[in-house]
Homo-oligomer: A and B are copies of this chain.
Amino acid sequence: MRIGELAVRTGVSKDALRFYEKIGLIEGDRLPNGYRDFPPETVPWLQYVRTAQTLGFTLAEIARHGAELKEAPDSAEALSALFEDKIRVVDARMAELAALRAELTGRVGTGCPLRA
Protein backbone atom coordinates (compact mmCIF):
# COMPACT_ATOMS: atom_id res chain seq x y z
CA MET A 1 0.00 0.00 0.00
CA ARG A 2 1.25 3.49 -0.81
CA ILE A 3 1.85 6.16 1.76
CA GLY A 4 -1.39 8.06 1.17
CA GLU A 5 -3.61 5.06 1.78
CA LEU A 6 -1.62 4.09 4.85
CA ALA A 7 -2.01 7.64 6.15
CA VAL A 8 -5.78 7.54 5.66
CA ARG A 9 -6.13 4.10 7.18
CA THR A 10 -4.09 4.88 10.30
CA GLY A 11 -4.69 8.57 10.80
CA VAL A 12 -0.94 9.15 10.75
CA SER A 13 0.17 11.94 8.44
CA LYS A 14 2.32 11.16 5.39
CA ASP A 15 5.09 13.34 6.79
CA ALA A 16 4.97 11.41 10.05
CA LEU A 17 5.11 8.12 8.16
CA ARG A 18 8.17 9.23 6.22
CA PHE A 19 9.69 10.31 9.52
CA TYR A 20 8.86 6.91 11.05
CA GLU A 21 10.53 5.16 8.15
CA LYS A 22 13.61 7.34 8.57
CA ILE A 23 13.98 6.33 12.21
CA GLY A 24 13.30 2.67 11.45
CA LEU A 25 9.91 2.44 13.13
CA ILE A 26 8.24 1.19 9.95
CA GLU A 27 9.62 -0.46 6.85
CA GLY A 28 8.47 -0.75 3.28
CA ASP A 29 9.62 -1.69 -0.19
CA ARG A 30 9.76 0.63 -3.12
CA LEU A 31 7.72 0.35 -6.29
CA PRO A 32 9.59 0.64 -9.61
CA ASN A 33 8.69 4.33 -9.71
CA GLY A 34 10.26 4.97 -6.32
CA TYR A 35 7.01 5.20 -4.36
CA ARG A 36 6.98 3.54 -0.96
CA ASP A 37 5.01 0.30 -0.73
CA PHE A 38 4.01 -0.72 2.79
CA PRO A 39 2.79 -4.22 3.71
CA PRO A 40 -0.76 -4.45 5.18
CA GLU A 41 0.49 -5.41 8.66
CA THR A 42 1.87 -1.89 8.95
CA VAL A 43 -1.68 -0.78 9.83
CA PRO A 44 -2.03 -2.79 13.10
CA TRP A 45 1.61 -2.08 13.86
CA LEU A 46 0.94 1.66 13.71
CA GLN A 47 -2.10 1.25 15.95
CA TYR A 48 0.14 -0.54 18.38
CA VAL A 49 2.69 2.29 18.05
CA ARG A 50 0.04 4.87 18.90
CA THR A 51 -1.01 2.87 21.95
CA ALA A 52 2.55 2.51 23.14
CA GLN A 53 3.09 6.22 22.63
CA THR A 54 0.09 7.07 24.73
CA LEU A 55 1.61 4.94 27.46
CA GLY A 56 4.68 7.15 27.47
CA PHE A 57 7.10 5.11 25.40
CA THR A 58 9.32 7.07 23.03
CA LEU A 59 9.46 6.19 19.36
CA ALA A 60 13.02 4.97 19.84
CA GLU A 61 11.89 2.56 22.55
CA ILE A 62 8.99 1.33 20.45
CA ALA A 63 11.28 0.80 17.46
CA ARG A 64 13.70 -1.12 19.66
CA HIS A 65 10.94 -3.34 21.08
CA GLY A 66 9.69 -3.91 17.55
CA ALA A 67 13.12 -5.01 16.42
CA GLU A 68 13.39 -7.35 19.41
CA LEU A 69 10.03 -8.86 18.60
CA LYS A 70 11.02 -9.45 14.98
CA GLU A 71 14.13 -11.25 16.12
CA ALA A 72 12.40 -13.30 18.82
CA PRO A 73 11.54 -16.83 17.68
CA ASP A 74 8.46 -17.15 19.87
CA SER A 75 6.80 -13.91 19.00
CA ALA A 76 3.37 -14.56 20.51
CA GLU A 77 4.92 -15.25 23.87
CA ALA A 78 7.28 -12.29 23.65
CA LEU A 79 4.42 -10.03 22.71
CA SER A 80 2.33 -11.24 25.61
CA ALA A 81 5.21 -10.49 27.94
CA LEU A 82 5.48 -7.01 26.44
CA PHE A 83 1.76 -6.42 26.86
CA GLU A 84 1.97 -7.55 30.44
CA ASP A 85 4.81 -5.10 31.03
CA LYS A 86 2.70 -2.34 29.58
CA ILE A 87 -0.28 -3.31 31.67
CA ARG A 88 1.95 -2.88 34.70
CA VAL A 89 2.92 0.59 33.42
CA VAL A 90 -0.74 1.45 33.00
CA ASP A 91 -1.56 0.16 36.46
CA ALA A 92 1.24 2.24 37.97
CA ARG A 93 0.00 5.32 36.16
CA MET A 94 -3.55 4.70 37.27
CA ALA A 95 -2.37 4.35 40.85
CA GLU A 96 -0.61 7.72 40.60
CA LEU A 97 -3.78 9.26 39.23
CA ALA A 98 -5.80 7.72 42.01
CA ALA A 99 -3.38 9.24 44.53
CA LEU A 100 -3.66 12.65 42.91
CA ARG A 101 -7.42 12.31 42.83
CA ALA A 102 -7.48 11.49 46.53
CA GLU A 103 -5.24 14.48 47.23
CA LEU A 104 -7.53 16.75 45.26
CA THR A 105 -10.64 15.30 46.86
CA GLY A 106 -9.16 15.90 50.27
CA ARG A 107 -8.54 19.51 49.36
CA VAL A 108 -12.05 20.24 48.17
CA GLY A 109 -13.47 22.67 50.68
CA THR A 110 -10.08 23.43 52.20
CA GLY A 111 -7.66 26.26 51.59
CA CYS A 112 -5.50 26.90 48.59
CA PRO A 113 -2.05 25.25 48.50
CA LEU A 114 -0.66 28.18 46.53
CA ARG A 115 -1.11 30.71 49.27
CA ALA A 116 0.72 30.81 52.52
Complex-state Cα separation, A78 to B108, whole angstroms: 10
Closest to A39 in B: B116
A16 at the interface (CB under 8 A from B): no
A60 at the interface (CB under 8 A from B): no
Complex-state Cα separation, A40 to B86, whole angstroms: 38
Give A contacts to B, CB under 8 Å: 39-41, 44-45, 47-48, 51-52, 54-56, 66, 69-70, 72, 74-76, 78-80, 83-84, 86-87, 90-91, 93-94, 96-98, 100-101, 103-105, 107-116
**21 A-B pairs (CB sep. < 8 Å):** A39-B116, A41-B115, A41-B116, A44-B113, A45-B114, A51-B104, A55-B97, A55-B100, A56-B56, A76-B111, A78-B112, A79-B108, A79-B113, A80-B108, A83-B105, A83-B107, A83-B108, A84-B108, A87-B104, A90-B100, A94-B97
Give 14 A-B pairs besides A41-B116, A76-B111 with Cβ atoms closer than 8 angstroms: A39-B116, A70-B112, A72-B112, A74-B112, A75-B111, A78-B112, A80-B108, A80-B109, A83-B107, A83-B108, A87-B101, A94-B94, A94-B98, A97-B97
